[in-house]
Amino acid sequence: MIHPSAVVSPEANLGANVEIGPFCVINANVTLGDRCKLHSHVVINGYSTIGEENEFYPFTAIGQRSQDLKYDGEPTSVIIGDRNIFRENVTVHRGTGEAPSVIGSDNNFLAYAHVAHDSVVGNHCILSNGATLGGHVHIADHVIISGLSGVHQFCRIGAHAIIGGCTKIVQDVPPFMIADGHPAALRGLNLVGLQRRGFTSEAIRALKTTYKALFLKKEGNLTAQALAFATNPATESEEVQHLLTFLSSTERGIVR
């Protein structure tokens, strides 16, 4: 189902039951999976591989050239999973080198959200209106980034974290936490999110213990504190182990 006003390259690979609305442009080297729907004025460019049942609202632009000034026009790519929603004016740029920009499945990108080059977004995430990811940002699963928040290049947001509105992220945000402010600071565990996603009371209790031990003082060497905390019984929790692994692998430092 392709509207007569749409421009679709004969070299594009379209799956079954794809809907392409008025004034859309699909360039060569684009793969659209089954049952994708493009409402109108959607542009998909570059080496973009898109899975099934994705929905693109007007003026979405996918796979455009990186804004990185080091990019020199080499062929680069975007890989997108299944069942994502891209609302009006969302932009997703392709990578700058061998690594693609990657988006998982079941994400919701609200109007004007931006995913920059070489970024990775997991599954079941929400980027609210105007949320912006710089280049090489990594977003884990079940993350919520509220409206008008910005994430600096090379930062990571851990799984099940939530970022408040108008927040400035310049360091890694640990999993399971709430970060808010300009610049960001931790405000506590994402208790509501954890409860909604079925985390056990034991797991939440262990994360509370860890949060109090490592983050309430907001001073001292966090890596050393995390190593010292390793003897605490709370570290037997799978969730706490995940948190400690995240802390030990930081390169930009941790929001506290």
Instruction: Write down the catalytic residue from 51, 81, 95, 135.
Output: 135
State the Rg of the chain over Cα. Answer: 20
Q: Specify whether 118 is catalytic.
A: yes
Report DSSP state, residue 22. T
Active-site residue 117, yes or no? yes
What separation in angstroms does the CA of 144 have from each of 127, 205, 229, 240? 6, 22, 28, 20
Residue 136: closest CA among 151, 152, 154: 154
Residue partners of 37: CB distance under 8 A and separation at least 6:
18, 19, 21, 54, 55, 56
- Beta carbons within 8 Å of 83's beta carbon, 6+ residues apart: 51, 52, 53, 54, 105, 106
Residue 80 in 3-state DSSP? Answer: strand
Residue 252 exposed, middle or buried by CB count within 10 Å (0-12, 13-18, 19+)? middle
Catalytic residue among 117, 136, 138, 160: 117
Q: Which residues pair with 127 in a beta bridge?
A: 109, 145
Active-site residue (options: 68, 82, 118, 180): 118
Active site residue 106: no
Q: How far is CA 72 from the centre of its chain?
A: 25
Q: Which residues are catalytic?
A: 117-118, 135
